Amino acid sequence: MKYIQYNSTTCIEVEETKSEYKPENLDQDRIHWFNIPISDNETVLRFCNNFIVHDLTMSDISNVDHLPKLDEFDNYLYFIGKHAYVDESIHQINIEHFSLILGKNYVLCFYEGKFDDIISYIYKYIISQSIKIDRKEADFLFYLIIDTVVDKYLDVIEYIREEAEDLEEITLEQEPENRTKEIIGIKANLNKLAASCFFTARSYSKAAEIFKQLGMWSQAGECIAYIGKDRMKEAAGYFEKGGLILRAIECYE
């Protein structure tokens, strides 16, 4: 497990991760980011119990075949997504499962597979932008994780484009050979990516709508506690940007 906490002046990775973390015990002047591999069943269960996670969410966290979605609970938002990367050794795109829980001043990230690159990238970004993120709360981190995952989709699309161009060049310049296997491989990768993008885009749209609704509720005095009403407009904008990125990915596909 990786535990990162930060504010406008500091960003650290906490070495000791065996403590019984609970929302009420967290430093309120910092944002807390817990990254937990779903293979670590004991830690997943402990955090779910300590952070009062609903039973339905608990079952979804370990269900790696679950489609992307976003659910709203009394004390948190829950997002399921898929992250993509290329295993160049076998020319294969891997789509893997992750999920996020957004609370008042924390984000719980549960993931499978190769997610360390994304964690490392965001950690470095927070360090480099520490002054600029002074006014940004946990919802910004929630957005940043998803936005980074989406950007990785663009890297995968670029890899597929290069593969297709290489195959076209070989086919045109050399004696025609049976390239059925390569073509089927590219098509399979595109289909896999397109399916993941479609359902993730729907989750983005729902997230944007929820944040807009929270903004209206805040004016009526019914704002859910984990996001301040001055954050609503900005947060909705984050997810609208994510929707634009995903529509661009569909165009590439």
Cβ atoms 201, 242 nearer than 8 A: no
Return the SS3 of 72.
strand
The 8-class DSSP code of residue 63 comes to: -
At 40, the amino acid letter reads: D
CATH of 2-252, one of 3.90.1150.10, 3.10.129.10, 2.60.120.260, 3.30.460.20: 3.30.460.20
Whether the model clears a pTM of 0.85, i.e. scores above it, the answer is no
- Backbone phi, then psi, for 19, in 5-degree steps? -70, 160
For 96, the enclosing helix (H) or strand (E) is strand 92-102
User: pLDDT per residue over 164-185, tens digit each?
Assistant: 666 666 665 665 556 666 666 6
Return the SS3 of 176.
coil
Query: Residue 153: is its pLDDT beyond 80?
Result: no
Lowest mean pLDDT among 133-142, 199-208, 213-222: 213-222
Query: Residue 216: is its pLDDT beyond 60?
Result: no
In order of 84, 112, 166, the CA distances from 101 in angstroms are 20, 15, 41
- Going edge to edge, which strands form the sheet with 2-6? 11-14, 2-6, 31-37, 106-111, 92-102, 77-87, 69-72
Cβ atoms 194, 250 nearer than 8 A: yes
Q: How confident is the model at residue 146 (pLDDT cuts 50, 70, 90)?
A: confident
User: What pLDDT, on the 0 to 100 scale, is given for residue 210?
Assistant: 60
Average pLDDT over residues 76-97: 84
User: Could you give the CA distance from residue 64 to residue 77 in angstroms, rounded to a whole number?
Assistant: 19
Q: How confident is the model at residue 230 (pLDDT cuts 50, 70, 90)?
A: very low
Average pLDDT over residues 157-169: 70
The 8-class DSSP code of residue 203 comes to: H
Name the residue with higher pLDDT: 181 or 14. Answer: 14
What are the boundaries of each domain within the chain?
Answer: 2-252
